[in-house]
C-alpha cells in the first residue's frame, strides 16, 4: 500500500540538500510531481499541490523540514474532504448502511469487514443479502457470515431485492439490531436497469449511510465511476479496497479532492480484520514513511484484551518496547490479518513491509529468523535491548545459525522502531492522540 508514493516522496525530500538552494528545491518538486502523476493523481491536483508547496517552502526558507511540513499539511488538507470520519450512527437504531459499487470492487467482503469492525465496537449487526444477480452471491455471504459468527438475513424464495431489503429492515428493527448493512449486486455504471433497482432499494430503506466501495487498483477510473454513482445515489462516503495490492495510492487524493466525498474506510487485505478507518493525517504520516502507531494500537485493542493493549501502548509511549513485546506482537498479529500492512505501520519498518510477501507468519523467513535471534537471547537481553554489545551479538548470531551481519540488521531495524516510537510519544504524538480522542468516532485507545 502506498509504497510507490512513499518511496518517491522520500527521494523527493532527499533531493533537498542545502538550505536556500533553489536548484535542489526545483529538483525535489520535479520528483514530487512525477511521482504524484505516476501514482494516478489527477494532473490539476498535482499542479496545484506542487505550486503551493513551492511557495510555502520558499516562504518558510528552503530546507528539508519546511518542504516536508508543507507537503504534509497540503496532503492532509486534500484528504480532509468535508464530512465525518468513521462510522456514523443514526440517533435511533438501526443505523442502515447501503453498500454499492462496481462489479468485483469488494462490496461483499467489505460488508463483512465492516460488520466485524462494528462488532469490535460492541454493536449488534445484521447483514442483508440483496445481491440476486450473481448466482453464488448469497452463498458467499452465508459462508462468510458463518465463518465469522455474524447474523445474515436472506430469502431464497424471493427474487426482488427491494422486498428483501424491506424484510431485512423489519428484522433489524424487531431484532433490536444496532446496524443493518445491505450488500447489493455489482453494477456497471452504464447499466441503467440495475442502477434503477439500486435507487429503489435506497428509496425503500432510506439509509443513513450510502457507501461507495471503490477498487483502488482502478486508478483514475475509480474517480470517474464514483462521480456517476454519486450523481445517482448521493454517496455519503467512499470505502477504498485493495490498498494492499499494487495500488498507486493517488486515487485516494483524487476522490477526496475532485469529488469532495469523504473517504471513510480502507480495505487492506482479504481477511475480515483488514479494514481501517480512514484518518487523513494518519494516512499522510504513513505516506511519508513514518509509520502509524495509532492505527496499530487501535487494531490491537480490537483483538487483544484491553489490559494487554494498555500495557503495550504505555510501553510504546515510554520507549520501552523490548524483544519480548516484539515476540508478543508477532504472536498477536496472527489474529490481526495481513501481516504486511501491519508491519508497515510500525515506524521504521515500512521498508521491510515492502519486502515481505503476504505470507502467514509460520512460513515467513524473516519472522522465523527474528524469532531465532530472539530465542538465542538471554532473558535479560530480551528485556533490555541496550545490553547487546559485540560479544553478545556474536553469541546470538551463532545461536541462531545466522551471520552477525543479519543480527546487526535486525537490531538496527528494531532500534529505528524504538526511536520512532519514542518520537511519536513526544509532544506531537500526544497532540495527535488528543485530536483523535476528541473526534466524532472515539477510538478505544487507552490513555
Ligand X SMILES: Nc1nc2c(ncn2[C@@H]2O[C@H](COP(=O)(O)OP(=O)(O)OP(=O)(O)O)[C@@H](O)[C@H]2O)c(=O)[nH]1
Positions touching ligand X (CB under 6 A) are: 101, 103-109, 131, 134, 137, 186, 241-242, 244-245, 267-270, 274
> CB under 5 to 8 A by kind: which of ligand X, Mg ion, none does 350 bind?
none
Q: How far is the CB of 243 from ligand X (least distance, A)?
A: 6
Q: Which is nearer to Mg ion, 132 or 339 (CB)?
A: 132
> CB under 5 to 8 A by kind: which of Mg ion, ligand X, none does 33 bind?
none
Q: Which is nearer to ligand X, 33 or 264 (CB)?
A: 264
Point out which span in 100-108, 145-153, 289-297, 425-433 binds Mg ion (CB under 5 A): 100-108
Non-local CB neighbours of 171 within 8 Å, separated by 6+ positions: 126, 153, 177
CA distance 386 to 273: 34
Q: How far is the CB of 186 from Mg ion (least distance, A)?
A: 6
Point out which span in 45-53, 106-114, 383-391, 398-406 binds Mg ion (CB under 5 A): 106-114
Q: How far is the CB of 442 from ligand X (least distance, A)?
A: 25
> CB under 5 to 8 A by kind: which of ligand X, Mg ion, none does 221 bind?
none
CA distance 169 to 154: 11
CB atoms within 10 A of CB 170: 11
Q: How far is CA 72 from CA 65, 68, 175, 289, 428, in A?
A: 10, 6, 46, 11, 14
Q: Which is nearer to ligand X, 100 or 288 (CB)?
A: 100
Select from 220, 211, 268, 262 the least CA-distant residue to 241: 268
Q: How far is the CB of 277 from ligand X (least distance, A)?
A: 14
> CB under 5 to 8 A by kind: which of Mg ion, ligand X, none does 105 bind?
ligand X
Give the neighbor-by-neighbor strand order of the sheet with 95-100: 151-153, 125-130, 179-184, 95-100, 209-215, 237-241, 263-267, 275-277
CA distance 432 to 143: 39
Q: Which is nearer to ligand X, 63 or 106 (CB)?
A: 106
125 bridge partner residues: 179
Phi, psi of 138 (to 5 degrees): -65, -40
3-state secondary structure of 183: strand
| Omega before 247 within 30 of 0, i.e. cis | no
Interface of this chain with Mg ion, residues 107 to 146, rule: CB under 5 A: 107-108
CB atoms within 10 A of CB 408: 14
CA distance 393 to 390: 5
The helix (run of H) or strand (run of E) holding residue 240 is: strand 237-241
The three cell numbers of residue 225 are: 465511476
> CB under 5 to 8 A by kind: which of ligand X, Mg ion, none does 269 bind?
ligand X
Q: How far is the CB of 83 from ligand X (least distance, A)?
A: 22
> CB under 5 to 8 A by kind: which of Mg ion, ligand X, none does 199 bind?
none
Q: How far is the CB of 105 from ligand X (least distance, A)?
A: 4
Q: How far is CA 178 from CA 90, 121, 146, 299, 369, in A?
A: 9, 11, 19, 22, 45
Beta strand residue intervals within 260-312, DSSP E: 263-267, 275-277
CA distance 363 to 367: 8
Q: How far is the CB of 102 from ligand X (least distance, A)?
A: 7
Q: How far is the CB of 250 from ligand X (least distance, A)?
A: 17
Q: Which is nearer to Mg ion, 108 or 216 (CB)?
A: 108
Could you identify the residue written with the cell 514530487? 32
The three cell numbers of residue 238 are: 467512499
Q: How far is the CB of 132 from Mg ion (least distance, A)?
A: 11
Non-local CB neighbours of 229 within 8 Å, separated by 6+ positions: 100, 101, 189, 212, 235
- Asked whether the beta carbons of 106 and 242 are under 8 A apart, the reply is yes
Q: How far is the CB of 16 from ligand X (least distance, A)?
A: 35
Beta strand residue intervals within 22-109, DSSP E: 95-100
> CB under 5 to 8 A by kind: which of ligand X, Mg ion, none does 40 bind?
none
Interface of this chain with Mg ion, residues 282 to 341, rule: CB under 5 A: none
Q: Which is nearer to Mg ion, 6 or 111 (CB)?
A: 111
> CB under 5 to 8 A by kind: which of Mg ion, ligand X, none does 244 bind?
ligand X
Q: Which is nearer to ligand X, 141 or 377 (CB)?
A: 141
* Site string (173-212) toward Mg ion, x via CB under 5 A: ----------------------------------------
Q: Which is nearer to Mg ion, 11 or 103 (CB)?
A: 103
Query: Minimal CB distance to ligand X: which residue?
Result: 186
**Alpha carbon 66 to chain centroid distance?**
27
Q: Which is nearer to ligand X, 105 or 277 (CB)?
A: 105
Count of residues touching Mg ion (by CB under 5 A): 2
Q: How far is the CB of 240 from ligand X (least distance, A)?
A: 8
> CB under 5 to 8 A by kind: which of Mg ion, ligand X, none does 262 bind?
none
Instruction: Using CB under 5 A, list all residues that contact Mg ion.
Output: 107-108
Amino acid at each position: 500500500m502506498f509504497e510507490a508514493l512513499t518511496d518517491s516522496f522520500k527521494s523527493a525530500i532527499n533531493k533537498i540538500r542545502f538550505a536556500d538552494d533553489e536548484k535542489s528545491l526545483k529538483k525535489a518538486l520535479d520528483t514530487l510531481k512525477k511521482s504524484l502523476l505516476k501514482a494516478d493523481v489527477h494532473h490539476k491536483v498535482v499542479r496545484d499541490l506542487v505550486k503551493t508547496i513551492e511557495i510555502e517552502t520558499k516562504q518558510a526558507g528552503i530546507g528539508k523540514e519546511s518542504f516536508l511540513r508543507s507537503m504534509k499539511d497540503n496532503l492532509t488538507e486534500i484528504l480532509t474532504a468535508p464530512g465525518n470520519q468513521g462510522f456514523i450512527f443514526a440517533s435511533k437504531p438501526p443505523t442502515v448502511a447501503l453498500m454499492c459499487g462496481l462489479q468485483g470492487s469488494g462490496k461483499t467482503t467489505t460488508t463483512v469487514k465492516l460488520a466485524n469492525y462494528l462488532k469490535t465496537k460492541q454493536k449488534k449487526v445484521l447483514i442483508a443479502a440483496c445481491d440476486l444477480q450473481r448466482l453464488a452471491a448469497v452463498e458467499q455471504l452465508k459462508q462468510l457470515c458463518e465463518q465469522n459468527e455474524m447474523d445474515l438475513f436472506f430469502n431464497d424464495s424471493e427474487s426482488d431485492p427491494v422486498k428483501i431489503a424491506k424484510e431485512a429492515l423489519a428484522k433489524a428493527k424487531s431484532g433490536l439490531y444496532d446496524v443493518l448493512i445491505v450488500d447489493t449486486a455489482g453494477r456497471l455504471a452504464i447499466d441503467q436497469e440495475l442502477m434503477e433497482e439500486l435507487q429503489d432499494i435506497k428509496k425503500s430503506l432510506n439509509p443513513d449511510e450510502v457507501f461507495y466501495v471503490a477498487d483502488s487498483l482502478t486508478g483514475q477510473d475509480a474517480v470517474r465511476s464514483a462521480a456517476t454513482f454519486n450523481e445517482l445515489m448521493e454517496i455519503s462516503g467512499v470505502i477504498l479496497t485493495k490498498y494492499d495490492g499494487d495500488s498507486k495510492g493517488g486515487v485516494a487524493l483524487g476522490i477526496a479532492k475532485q469529488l469532495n466525498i469523504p473517504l471513510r474506510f480502507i480495505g487492506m487485505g482479504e481477511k475480515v480484520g483488514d479494514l481501517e478507518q480512514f484518518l487523513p493525517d494518519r494516512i499522510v504520516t504513513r505516506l511519508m514513511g513514518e509509520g502509524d502507531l495509532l492505527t496499530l494500537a487501535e487494531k490491537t485493542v480490537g483483538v487483544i484484551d484491553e489490559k494487554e493493549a494498555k500495557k503495550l501502548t504505555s510501553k510504546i509511549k515510554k520507549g520501552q518496547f523490548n524483544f519480548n513485546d516484539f515476540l508478543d506482537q508477532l504472536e498477536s498479529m496472527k489474529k490481526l490479518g495481513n501481516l504486511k500492512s501491519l508491519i508497515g505501520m510500525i515506524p521504521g519498518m515500512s521498508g521491510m513491509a515492502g519486502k515481505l510477501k503476504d505470507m502467514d507468519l509460520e512460513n515467513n523467513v524473516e519472522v522465523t529468523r527474528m524469532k531465532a535471534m530472539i530465542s538465542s537471547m538471554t532473558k535479560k537481553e530480551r528485556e533490555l535491548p541496550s545490553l547487546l554489545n559485540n560479544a553478545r551479538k556474536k553469541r546470538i548470531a551463532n545461536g541462531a545459525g545466522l551471520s552477525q551481519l543479519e543480527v546487526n540488521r535486525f537490531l538496527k531495524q528494531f532500534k529505528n522502531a524504538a526511536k520512532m516510537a519514542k518520537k511519536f510519544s513526544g509532544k506531537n504524538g500526544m497532540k495527535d492522540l488528543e485530536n483523535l480522542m476528541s473526534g466524532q468516532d472515539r477510538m478505544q485507545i487507552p490513555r
